[in-house]
Amino acid sequence: MNPITHGLRVAKILLVVNRYRLDELLFDSTRVPTRLRLFRLMPWRWFGSDRHSSGERLRLALEELGPIFVKFGQILSTRRDLLPPDVADELARLQDRVPPFPGEQAIAIVEQAFSQPVGELFASFDATPLASASIAQVHQASLKTGEQVIVKVVRPTIERVIRRDLALMMVLARLLESLLADARRLRAVEVVADYQTTILDELDMVREAANANQIRRNFDGNDNLYIPEIHWDYTRINVLVMERVSGLPVDDIDALTAAGVDLEKLAARGVEIFFQQVFHDNFFHADMHPGNIMVEPNGRYVAVDFGIVGTLEEADKRYLAENFLAFFHRDYHAVAKAHLKAGWIPQETRLPQFESAIRAVCEPIFDKPLSEISFGFVLLRLFQVARRFDMQVQPQLVLLQKTLLNIEGLGRTLYPELDLWKTAKPFLERWMNEQVGWRGLLRTSKDQLPRLAETLPEVPFLLHEALQRLADMPTQLPDTSADDARNQRREKRLIGAIIGSALIISATLVYALSGFTPLSVTGMPRLPVVTLGLGLAGTLILVMSWPGRND
């Protein structure tokens, strides 16, 4: 990077910090080391202080520093587990208003990406941007086939600007962590590193197109959500072409009401979409603010902008489902156990203390009707309590919290009386039922079918060998010692248990395979065959494992 450019940018940042007196946020705390309190004597502090609140000053400063800092503030606003509420509220007000770059530049970028004139690629291309954001801007166009599309073009030189500002942010974060305990508690370096990963991923239009295609496939045939079609032949790393869609702004209540949209159903449908993406598809749109969502007159949602998506591990999903269900049943012991089992708090944590802390924070919430309880607030409170017990909040859960807050705010804007618990509880209970018991076992068997099928041919040989060993075992002779006889009986029971287990595996495979091939035995239906196999296995294990009087 050019040292002069770097120096000018640093100077601009320092001027903005001074103008909005951001040093007061850092050096007025009683927890600041004594040597740093000398900053109070600096000349720029002799002329009074800014009358805005600390959160307002931070927001205004980020807006002046430009789109990269604005987007950082937007993401930082989701870390309500780390920030004071007033600061988080101010950062949430940040608007990504960015002037467009010239349409001629957009045309040049498209032509360079495809090595073709724009007139050969499209039947028409509107050089006037339809919308402009910090990373890219959107133009209307039509294909030679007549299809109406939008063309999303990444801003020229934006990657260089982003990397420059990210480097400065990281230097500042490390400096603050070395000086201030609060900065270490807020994990400033980790927050900047997470932001770096997120924003650099957003520069890749092929990645965004793949995200859109995945969600479109997940909701294929679903009337709740529509995802525009990607035109892969016209998509490159810095250019994305997708079907042009239209709809009513999701936060324009008057327009939705005039179109006859049922707002209560629309709000409930949004919650259902969220829980399907998280718990069923394990792939969720993590940037579902009103600017990225429209509504068709028939009440179907339309989503765009898939630069940020989230996924969860199976353990994360189970953790969330168990916590939500236990929380709304006021079973704080179950909430504490779920945290420990998921590994979010140290194993040496004393559960009674953790349970008591959760109860003290969450019980007052239940003075409100369930319809007024916020899922996002519940998750936030759980994170805040767990942090006191050294819980490290994972990035994927932060994305989930951000999305949940967006969905929840949207749902209550559409229908303030929306009972989120009533909408979500059946989905969560059904999902939990599918994870445990026989349903969970059979589902796991189907998931593991390819691996199990590889070992299936070996089962008959193993059974034959076990049966042969059982048949070859001599009966107890008169002069056999009691210990030898006891060992023989134990070995027989072990072999019987092995045979029974093999029958269980075989029966489970038969059931799993029944979803793919019409297996049967001598014309018997599949299910009785499975039941017979499981019954024989269970009987064999029971008989062979029953302890003798002399054992």
Catalytic residues: 287
Contact 435, 318 (CB under 8 A): yes
Which helix (H) or strand (E) covers residue 156, if one does?
none
Q: Which amino acid appears at position 78 of this protein?
A: T
The residue type at 354:
F
Distance CA 59, CA 61 (A): 5
Q: Give the chain's radius of gyration (CA, Å).
A: 31
**Helices and strands (H and E) in the chain: how many:** 24, 11
Look at residues 354, 380, 386 and name the one whose alpha carbon lies nearest to residue 365: 380
Give one DSSP letter per residue of 291-350, joined into a string. GGEEE-TTS-EEE---S-EE---HHHHHHHHHHHHHHHTT-HHHHHHHHHHHTSS-TT--
User: Three-class SS of residue 275?
Assistant: helix
Whether residue 529 contacts residue 514, with contact meaning beta carbons closer than 8 Å, is answered with: no
The SS3 of residue 225 is strand
Listed residue (224, 209, 200) closest to 302, CA to CA: 224
Q: Would you state the structure tokens that stand for residue 239, as one six-digit string?
A: 């250019």
Note whether 62 and 37 are within 8 A (CB): no
DSSP conformational letter for 278: I
How does DSSP classify residue 281? I
- Return d(Cα 310, Cα 444) in angstroms, integer: 23
d(CA 38, CA 32): 11
- Going edge to edge, which strands form the sheet with 248-249? 225-226, 301-303, 293-295, 248-249
**Could you tell me which of 407, 357, 349, 350 has the C-alpha nearest to residue 381?**
357
Q: Are strands 248-249 and 293-295 parallel, antiparallel or unpaired?
A: antiparallel
Per-residue tokens: 424 = 């979500």
